[in-house]
Amino acid sequence: MPRHTIRSRLCSFCALVFVSLLLCGCAMPALAQPHATPDPAIGGMMAQVQTSTLRDRTNQLSGVKPALIGGSPYTFQTRETESGEPIEKATQFAYEFLAARGLAASYHNWRGC
């Protein structure tokens, strides 16, 4: 498999995982430090994460079930970063999710890995 294809798939996978965690309010823990004091704000966020919500968002972004984007159902057929419409729809999905929760969301140009 060509190197750029592997890198593209890895970037797509990383983006999917990041967006899934972001949409579920999940925070990735920092590397364990001896004698570190847990941050209560992070603990509070982690307590709000539900497995069913994480599974639902992952299923929507991976095409297992349709996602509601722009008021219409859309089923992802690929997770390739440079796929055109699918990556645009994934971006719109994340934007709409954040905006619906009152968070400031904006689009930025991105050129890939």
d(CA 48, CA 106): 25
pLDDT-derived band at 112 (thresholds 50, 70, 90) equals low
According to the model, what pLDDT value does residue 1 have? Answer: 45
According to the model, what pLDDT value does residue 83 have? Answer: 79
Residue 64's φ and ψ, nearest 5 degrees, are: -65, -35
According to the model, what pLDDT value does residue 18 have? Answer: 59
Q: Which amino acid is at 63?
A: G
> Where is 99: in which H helix or E strand?
helix 85-100
d(CA 113, CA 103): 27
Please, are residues 69 and 92 in contact by the beta-carbon 8 Å criterion? yes
3-state class of 1 per DSSP?
coil
**Residues 15-58 pLDDT 10s:** 555 555 555 554 445 555 567 788 888 888 888 888 898 899 89
The whole-number average pLDDT for the span 74-98 is 86
Task: Give the chain's mean pLDDT.
Answer: 76
Question: Who has greater pLDDT, 83 or 39?
Answer: 39
Long-range contacts of 29-38 (CB under 8 A, 24+ apart): none
Please, are residues 2 and 31 in contact by the beta-carbon 8 Å criterion? no
d(CA 108, CA 68): 22
